[in-house]
Chain A
Amino acid sequence: QVQLVQSGSELKKPGASVKVSCKASGYTFTSSAVNWVRQAPGQGLEWMGWINTNTGNPTYAQGFTGRFVFSLDTSVSTAYLQISSLKVEDTAVYYCAISTTGTTQFDYWGQGTLVTVSS
């Protein structure tokens, strides 16, 4: 069965960097793009963008350029989200999600990774 397993919670200080992983199993990793979604505490879902798992080409949504980097290691079927120069307002749960139909529906989600930024 399809599974997306994310790395554990992180506590970081402002200005530091964090790298969140999303390990896929149960399907061919390169057959589905990986999307990233942010959810700040008590807030709604916010799409951050996606990465093409065939080419490695990332697409970032407005508001997620500059400090946010999507990457892949196809040898271990894993996608990564790196955030640099962390700010307190980056505190959120970050989800990876995929569509198995080639559309923008998200059939499968990771369990989420809580990133807390606090001094």
Chain B
Amino acid sequence: SYELTQPPSVSVSPGQTARITCSGDALAKQYAYWYQQKPGQAPVLVIYKDSERPSGIPERFSGSSSGTTVTLTVSGVQAEDEADYYCQSADSSDSVLFGGGTKLTVL
């Protein structure tokens, strides 16, 4: 079965660049999406179709894809970016897959 693998945690200092990876065979054929979730809140879409940014999402959020790995990059990290981040894709039968989530800590 398809799975999406993320690192459990990433830590960066304010102003630095955070990179969160997501790996899985499904990503070779399907787009990836990224969500930000802050405590007690619903997830928010921050990247769609691997690298597109929805309106209202700051430019410091970007996405890229290479083979079976996608990467969410947060440039110039701010304290408000501390959150859990989830990648999401779909398998060959359009069943939705979520990665396990990555906790971004701003030191």
- Asked if A pairs with B, the answer is yes
A99 CB → nearest B CB, Å = 10
Residue in A45, A104, A106 whose CB lies within 8 Å of B101? A45
Residues of A within 8 A of B99 (CB): 44
A107 touches B54 (CB 8 A): yes
Is A47's CB within 8 Å of the partner chain B? yes
CA distance A110 to B42 in the complex (A): 7
A96 CB → nearest B CB, Å = 10
- Count B interface residues, CB 8 Å: 25
A40 CB → nearest B CB, Å = 12
Residue of B nearest to A96 (CB): B42
CA distance A38 to B89 in the complex (A): 16
Q: Which of B37-84 contact A (CB under 8 A)?
A: 37, 42-45, 48-49, 54, 84
A45 touches B43 (CB 8 A): yes
A109 touches B43 (CB 8 A): yes
A106 touches B31 (CB 8 A): no
Interface SS of chain B: helix, strand, loop or mixed?
strand
CA distance A93 to B28 in the complex (A): 31
A42 CB → nearest B CB, Å = 10
B96 touches A47 (CB 8 A): yes
> A45-B101, A47-B97, A61-B96 are contacts. A104–B89 as well, Cβ < 8 Å?
yes
Is A103's CB within 8 Å of the partner chain B? yes
Residues of B within 8 A of A62 (CB): 95
Residues of A within 8 A of B33 (CB): 104-106
B interface residues (Cβ-Cβ under 8 A, vs A): 30-31, 33, 35, 37, 42-45, 48-49, 54, 84, 86, 88-90, 94-101
Q: List 19 A-B contacts (CB under 8 A).
A: A37-B98, A44-B84, A44-B86, A44-B98, A44-B99, A45-B37, A45-B86, A45-B88, A47-B98, A95-B42, A104-B30, A104-B89, A104-B90, A104-B94, A105-B45, A105-B48, A106-B33, A106-B43, A112-B42
Give 8 closest A-B pairs by Cβ, nearest first.
Answer: A47-B96, A109-B42, A44-B101, A45-B98, A104-B90, A105-B33, A105-B48, A44-B100
